[in-house]
Structure 1
């Protein structure tokens, strides 16, 4: 069963008097007793037992998008109406996160607490490209040395897809592999699990996968049933296998990378100005279509690659392929972005995934402004319906307090913290950043609301939801697809 209204209450008792938590449209609700003709029913939702009004639930599952707050990086879980789970990116590995949390922890919560499962089963796992702030959280799910920190250690991944560009090494030098004789195209693009596995050890190409990317791919090839490269032309005109267009189903179209042919072999354009322009520029660009709705995920595309994509779709007279109701902003809101590209997307909602203290000052003010200016304008009753801009960083909030008392040892000797207790000092930071300060004057984070952005749709109506900064409620906005 699922929540049938924008917001409902999960109550403590059968009389539905005391609210425990708030649920939103499409949330899974697990019956704990027969439904019958009761006006209220005992259920479990989000791992919390309670009661709901039977008029507030139904059997209609929605398409759910979870834009996970992973700090600097991306992490998106998509749950289809037929309950397929698609994980795209996951943020940095957990131990490099300020909060020591990434998408692996959210997936663990989703299956263990929300679903009450003892096994995580992902139908599809994808990494948009080979940068650690995207694949790290996926690695934590697959790495047996890290998964022990999760509640569920039994993890199944059926299919893995990636964009084709790999970190490689040859003769001790790190790069993205060989190019053609002109230096204009990347030529070593492993298509399959067998071809990837070949690059994990010395082979006749002279190239091997390199560094942490190699370690990640070792986990991928060991843990998944199938690994495959995606592009705009592979598998039935660029659809993700198993997600081709079908009535009432979710389809996933691969709009980029733009694959070209050289001597009858697949190649990708080599962009100027270094490896980062190429790893980011050849990110997977995916469009999810369901009913009337279109949602676009763009990885870390940059202005150079965006122009390449525009040129391709102009040539084929298909620029409308870029239009969407909702888009995930390219590269965490970087200003290395094409205004023309954003104009053709013309998104009703833009979601920016970014973190604190990451050195890039994402999202950039010009891109936030450009996302609004190029967004689809829908005004009703003198109020802006769209465009809307969401940010995981802005949606994140903290509760900060002062330490009051210290309890020491097994006997919990109590010591009140005041300006006179300056001898109690704490040290924080690491390396050259280590600092000390009196505990009484320090600030402590005592609560945190992650900046998760929820999107739900039935194929026409779209709901956007973020956690309220006060209490346990939700801030929601709704509108209808324009397509």
Structure 2
């Protein structure tokens, strides 16, 4: 648990951070639940504070203060993949997935960069401290950014000097290497269905599977990642706990009923074959890894938020069968859309969730065309409808890709400083009329690609990215009211939607 240094919180939907005690010059915008540090008494209706960055000072209208710490769920724009950071009201932090590794992202960023900002800048800490890290399943676009986090202290990419993880959780399905090939293990057929029984389990299992002399070791990037998890430490220096999750566990350890925040485990669906735990095979390796995602429902007060990994139609139907008679378990206020907005979705499952807001973590520049139009429409049609003052308040559908925006500029000249190039002893300016003669050579790595593509363009036809707003979707709640917010492209203010929980 992080020891918060904040002494007050924003108590309104959003408010402006002013540069001075008087005047209208802006330093930024703050959101409901943002922690601040008061730096002095009220002056002319404003209070001097630090906010959204340990070195970021400004003035806030006094009437905007007096809030409290909230449950915060950040759906991070990681390009291709999922990345979700959960902050509980008592400042416990859980990281569920992290997108591809930054080396496989065309932005050069993963979820690790946002988490790094949260701890080092917002909290002013020199370390990242997680109560739990969860890999929803063993696809690289979900655990890659988690591997980046575990490299804190070994790389200059992050400001944090170290990261501690109290508990690591996973779904069990793993990539193994047998006879030089990648495999999920040999399927076991029972009553017309196939199951996978070769599962990664606890810490002892992970140690054995990452040993250089293992008969059947973990394979590839997944094996490298689990090896990093094995080396991870808790705050007290002891090894990070490792545990497999399934619906049989019912609740995430430490978040059982009785506390302020409850975390209900609804998947993957676990069976018993030959006395061993088993997970269903859904017809192909990709469907099997996706279909056996960890499904986690976060409850706080009357609010419910459902995280669904990369569930597909077959696994959704299986979960509804397993929870027959208890389908209300899937009902929620906010749902993470399954598998980035893929069409491989059960309409009945969407109806079972009936979320007031759906957040689709879609990819940028990748070849799956997510989110698919029919799924965006279906998410709206099956969402919970609220009408107030003759306006539709919910359902809401967000997409991290649609929330992202860039500002594009055109090059007008190229300046080369004296001494920057061997043999050039004076400043050189290439004006717009001659930029056509200047060639820019670059590499482009599409999200998830193994190797970059080499390309070139005339400088005159090469657009410049002048600014970038990431498509992060904020979800915050006090247990009664739920706020969803994205950043406005024009001025960095917040576009806010609020609704009441119905549970």
TM over 0.5: yes
The Cα shift of 1:260 comes to 1.4
2:455 maps to: 435
What do the CA deviations read for 1:199-227 (whole angstroms, capped 9, x no partner)? 112678x4211000000000001114211
Match of 2:87 in 1: 79
List 4+ stretches of structure 1 deviating above 6 A: none
Deviates more, 1:414-423 or 1:187-196: 414-423
**Matching residue within 231, 239, 243 for 2:255:** 243
Q: CA RMSD of the aligned region, Å?
A: 1.9
Match of 1:22 in 2: 29
| Aligned equivalent of 1:297 | 307
Deviations 1:180-205 (A, max 9, x none): 3647221122331111111112678x
Distance 1:432 1:155 in 2: 30
Equivalent residue for 2:414, pick from 377, 388, 406: 406
Equivalent residue for 1:127?
135
Q: Aligned with 1:420: secondary structure?
A: helix
Does the aligned pair in 2 maintain the 1:140–1:146 contact within 8 Å?
A: no
Q: Structure 1 residue 258 and structure 2 residue 278: aligned? A: no
Work out which of the residue numbers 328, 351, 356 in structure 2 matches 1:348. Answer: 356
Contact 1:375 1:387 in 2 (8 A): yes
Q: Secondary structure at the match of 1:399?
A: strand
Q: Please give the secondary structure, in 2, of the residue aligned with 1:82.
A: coil
Within-5 A mapping of 1:439-450 = 439-450=459-470
C-alpha contact 2:268 2:294 (8 A) present in aligned 1: yes
For these two proteins, the number of residue pairs brought into alignment is 474
Q: Are 1:464 and 2:484 matched, yes or no?
A: yes
Greater displacement, 74-83 / 56-65: 56-65
2:206 paired residue number: 196
Report the more deviating stretch, 193-202 or 434-443. 434-443
Normalised to the residue count of structure 2, the TM-score between the two structures is 0.90
2:126 alignment partner in structure 1: 118
Q: Does 1:419 align with 2:424?
A: no
* Residue 59 of structure 1: how far off its partner (Å): 5.1
Stretch deviating more after TM superposition (138-147 or 3-12): 138-147
Partner of 1:5: 12
Q: TM-score, normalised by structure 1?
A: 0.94
Partners of 1:115 and 1:72 in 2: how far apart?
27
Maintained 8 Å contact 1:342/1:374: yes
Within 5 A, what are the aligned runs for 1:60-459? Answer: 60-143=68-151, 147-180=155-188, 182=190, 184-201=194-211, 206-224=215-233, 225-234=240-249, 238-247=250-259, 249-272=260-283, 274-314=284-324, 317-410=325-418, 413-429=427-443, 433-459=453-479
CA displacement, residues 353-388 of structure 1 (integer Å, 9 cap, x when unaligned): 112221110001111111011111111122111111
Give distance in 1, aligned partners of 2:141 and 2:154: 17
Q: How many Å apart are 1:16 and its aligned residue?
A: 5.6
Equivalent residue of 1:219, what SS?
helix
**Partners of 2:83 and 2:477 in 1: how far apart?**
19
CA–CA distance in 1 between the matches of 2:473 and 2:247?
A: 28
